[in-house]
A and B are shown apart, each in its own frame.
Chain A
């Protein structure tokens, strides 16, 4: 877990260039300082690292494989496509990497309760899982709209012993769940850790969550070199808050020959206003504790985002991505709902892998980038999660169910 990619200037007080920082109530500063000390200690503590690695191996199932996808790649202009299989992790996505790391930190800080926000439910499930494993009390905040469209994940969290609180304020989606988690945290900070699920929020969350996910890129790098003998030409990942993307990018940031491409949710199209394309249409601002790109109106009010995938349906993005975008080291492109669902279906049929709809945005990006870059291009894709949670959405999208929800003949 190196931080070699950060220049000293970029890291002043938890900043990534002009982005990042801590835009929080004063009441939280002491807890953020405590967390920063704890995670820096843990980074260099061999006992902590050994425990985390052992859990990654025996509980998460790391290292997960790298799978070449030749039948899928046949639609990508002659490129070779390699999938980093985060979908095979316990709980079904990359989110467990961060949940385990922060869970162990919670115990290290002597706290007994974790709270989390969740959109699609994947981070909530990962947090509830780790809380059960480590014997921590767990409360998950989820927008009411999301509890309805991800009802099965609500049931999973409850089975795992977590309390799920439906948040009915504002737009009743992920951003409002984060607000509510922050309110809980400021009230109960003495014994509670906020187990934030992506690389946004105030310092040290963006750096800490990145470090817990950097194992994705580190493994993929070694697996690719063993398989192909060289670095990939392009690494692509979907970007909601940006944790799976930063996790796979991090190992490659200092390899200038590698193009880093983030795919954000273009929803119904960036010109329709119904999307989560922060880089395509957003403006620098502050949301949830970090200076970054934000979907907002002229008065600085946050705009509602839209995506077919709940995990990308967020009006802001991690500050390190804003920095990588500004510095030109990474590029970010929107992928529409329709493009993502086409790629979703294609991977199912060509490779026998049902991806999360979030990850399908990265797959659609790989198809597009492969066609642009031409034959022989090596593309590494972060397959951040599996599609079990998305069956309802996919079945409706592809017309597999009738109005009563029964299978169509």
Chain B
């Protein structure tokens, strides 16, 4: 079983969902981002999704776009990504990376997989790489023991759900609403339908993302998903309180939420 698989097995034993917490590397500065992922791990995040700030984040809403801009202006470089992964690992969480494809392509998919693995990263989530285009990546990932994590969406056909989940390792990322990242007041009934359709074709754990921002929403999603992914709300909490106390409080609330299924 992959290391990610072990996280979900442990959560199943504890009768709860996993908390998957996203923050961009280098935000608001490189040093602060390493402290922030440490805070996530200390406050109950099981899996930490370290984002690669990118100039053209077309799956992201305003909160994460602004964070990426800030990180890039502060001088984010690729080496900083791996330091965040190491920090998350050192603090006891299982790190994965989320990156648009071009930065990984430019770094070199094989080199990226090797360096991610060496830093303690377990997987890569690729919001703009579909398995149809991912032959080079999945083989590099396999070579270095990194799980390729692809997204499924409400508009995915059953054939594509089967094809996409077959290409995934670790877990499946269910993008529950049609749209970009950002906190929403309602998580949307489509999430449960998508999780059920995904389970019908795959045994992998299914994590739900896009829109969760509160402990109550986390509990709602934890009732039917294996993991709850939270991004924009955590970025906003870090943005609004540089002491990271707000980040800590929200992460703890979410961690309680995934235990209240």
Give the B-binding residues of A (Cβ under 8 A): 13, 21-31, 169-171, 175-176, 178-179, 182-183, 186-187, 189-190, 283, 285-289, 294, 296, 298-302
Contact = CB atoms under 8 A, between A and B. Distances in A.
B213 to A, nearest CB: 18
Contact of B180 (A186, A283, A298): A186
A25 B128 contact: yes
Contacts of B105: 285-286, 300
A13 B175 contact: no
Residue from B56, B57, B133 having most chain A Cβ neighbours under 10 A: B56
B103 interface: yes
Interface in B135-151: 150-151
Nearest to A303: B55
23 contacts: A13-B132, A22-B132, A23-B129, A24-B128, A25-B127, A26-B151, A26-B152, A26-B153, A26-B155, A27-B153, A27-B156, A30-B155, A30-B156, A169-B69, A179-B58, A183-B179, A186-B179, A190-B178, A285-B105, A286-B128, A296-B102, A299-B106, A300-B104
Contact of B102 (A13, A28, A179, A287): A287
B103 to A, nearest CB: 4
Contacts, number: 114
A24 B56 contact: no
B160 A302 contact: no
A189 B155 contact: yes
B157 interface: yes
Nearest to B181: A183
B179 A187 contact: yes
Interface of B: 54-59, 61-62, 65-66, 69, 72, 77-78, 101-107, 127-130, 132-133, 150-157, 160, 164, 175, 178-180
Contact of A27 (B72, B103, B155): B155
B14 to A, nearest CB: 30
Contacts of A26: 130, 150-153, 155-156, 160, 164, 175
Contacts of B58: 25, 178-179, 182-183, 288
A188 B258 CA distance: 30
A35 B155 CA distance: 14
A30 B159 CA distance: 11
Given A29-B160, A286-B101, A299-B103, 18 more contacts: A23-B128, A24-B130, A26-B156, A26-B164, A31-B155, A170-B69, A179-B57, A182-B58, A186-B179, A187-B180, A189-B155, A285-B106, A294-B102, A298-B106, A299-B77, A300-B54, A302-B55, A302-B56
A134 to B, nearest CB: 25
A170 B105 CA distance: 21
A287 B62 CA distance: 20
A187 B178 contact: yes
Contacts of B59: 25, 183, 186
A186 B178 contact: yes
